[in-house]
Amino acid sequence: MGLTHALIEAQGLAIGYHDRPLADGIDLTVNPGEVLVLLGPNGAGKTTLLRTVLGLLPPIAGSITLLGQDLSRLSRSAIARTVAMVPQSLAPPFSFTARDVVLMARTARLGPFASPGPTDERVVEDALARLGIPHLAERAVTELSGGQRQLVLIARALAQQAPALILDEPTASLDWGNRLRLLDVLERLAADGLGMILSTHEPDHATRLATTVMTIDAQGNVWQGSPAEALDLRRLAALYGLDPAQIDRRHQDRNQSISVARVPSSGTYP
């Protein structure tokens, strides 16, 4: 049976801090298998939008619903059962194993004072396997590479068993090869039916992943459209305050090289 409500929906949303809006008039919808890619310069409000959708910041105006339920009326555990967050990086203060980090996500599914049981252990093993990293399970996350840590973070999000993911610049700290590998993973997750909102500084990610692209410029102007429309050079230049000639050849070359690159899904993550 299909869903009767969108995974994530916002209408007339204004975001910001202390009644000082960064952007307003935001409407968005994310359904299963759809990927909304956010583009825009630093400080425009991309992370603020993500935090607002997660219920970590109150909206200045407008409404947000998760599976048709008003976000403001949901508990933190209820939100976590619908949408999982993948931050930019993981800098743990202790040497938890990768398995322990993923297992922490199960708190969203446990009652008060409950401890993880066999079902939770199976979910963790499935998440690690789905990301191709069961060989990292007993490794301390402090010893992992940046790319490996990002996959652990995504496995942790999957272990929440939420139907939607929010990712804040997930490739920001990765080298080029690991960026491509991570994009391949995200493509497969979307194909499996997960809905996503992904913030990035790489317009080429829209080519690989986006169903819809939303841009927020430095003045708080919001635009939404198809990936092809978003990657128009004049639109990109205006978004980042550049002359189209500055990005014309460079963007076309990068877009071509990255959009055709794929990493075999059967390989392990380095």
Q: Which two tokens stand for residue 40?
A: 């825009």
Choice between 118 and 112, residue whose per-residue pLDDT is larger = 118
Please give the share of the chain, as a percent, with pLDDT higher than 90. 60
pLDDT of residue 108: 73
Looking at CATH, the fold of the domain delimited by 8-82+162-260 is given as: Rossmann fold (3.40.50)
Could you report the per-residue pLDDT of 67-116, keeping only the tens digit for each?
Answer: 999 999 999 989 999 999 998 776 666 789 999 999 988 887 766 656 77
The whole-chain average pLDDT of the chain stands at 86
pLDDT band at 197 (very low <50, low <70, confident <90, very high): very high
For the residues of the chain, what is the DSSP string, one character each? Answer: ---SS-SEEEEEEEEEETTEEEEEEEEEEE-TT-EEEEE--TTSSHHHHHHHHTTSS--SEEEEEETTEEGGGS-HHHHHTTEEEE-S----SS--BHHHHHHGGGGGGS-TT----HHHHHHHHHHHHHTT-GGGTTSBGGGS-HHHHHHHHHHHHHHTT-SEEEEESTTTT--HHHHHHHHHHHHHHHHTT-EEEEE-S-THHHHHH-SEEEEE-TT--EEEE-HHHHT-HHHHHHHHT--HHHHHHHHHHHHHHHHH----TTSPP-
Determine which of 127-131, 154-158, 170-174 has the lowest per-residue pLDDT on average. 170-174
pLDDT at residue 50 tops 90: yes
- Type of residue numbered 216: I
Q: Judge contact between 205 and 171, C-beta under 8 A.
A: yes
Q: Which two tokens stand for residue 39?
A: 């583009």
**What would the mean pLDDT of 31-47 be, rounded to a whole number?**
96
Could you report the per-residue pLDDT of 208-267, keeping only the tens digit for each?
Answer: 999 999 999 999 999 999 999 998 888 999 999 888 887 765 555 554 433 333 333 334
Choice between 38 and 117, residue whose per-residue pLDDT is larger = 38
Highest average pLDDT, of 28-37, 90-99, 147-156, comes from 28-37
In this structure, the strands spanning 212-216 and 222-225 are: antiparallel
Q: What's the CA gap between 186 and 262, in Å, rounded? A: 12
Q: What is the pTM of this model?
A: 0.85
> How is the chain split into domains, by residue range?
8-82+162-260
**What would the mean pLDDT of 202-209 be, rounded to a whole number?**
90
**What would the mean pLDDT of 157-164 be, rounded to a whole number?**
93
Among 50, 42, 67, residue whose Cα is nearest residue 13: 50
pLDDT at residue 123 tops 70: yes
Determine which of 25-29, 148-152, 161-165 has the lowest per-residue pLDDT on average. 148-152
pLDDT band at 7 (very low <50, low <70, confident <90, very high): very high
pLDDT at residue 193 tops 90: yes
In this structure, the strands spanning 212-216 and 35-39 are: parallel
In this structure, the strands spanning 61-66 and 222-225 are: unpaired
pLDDT of residue 178: 80
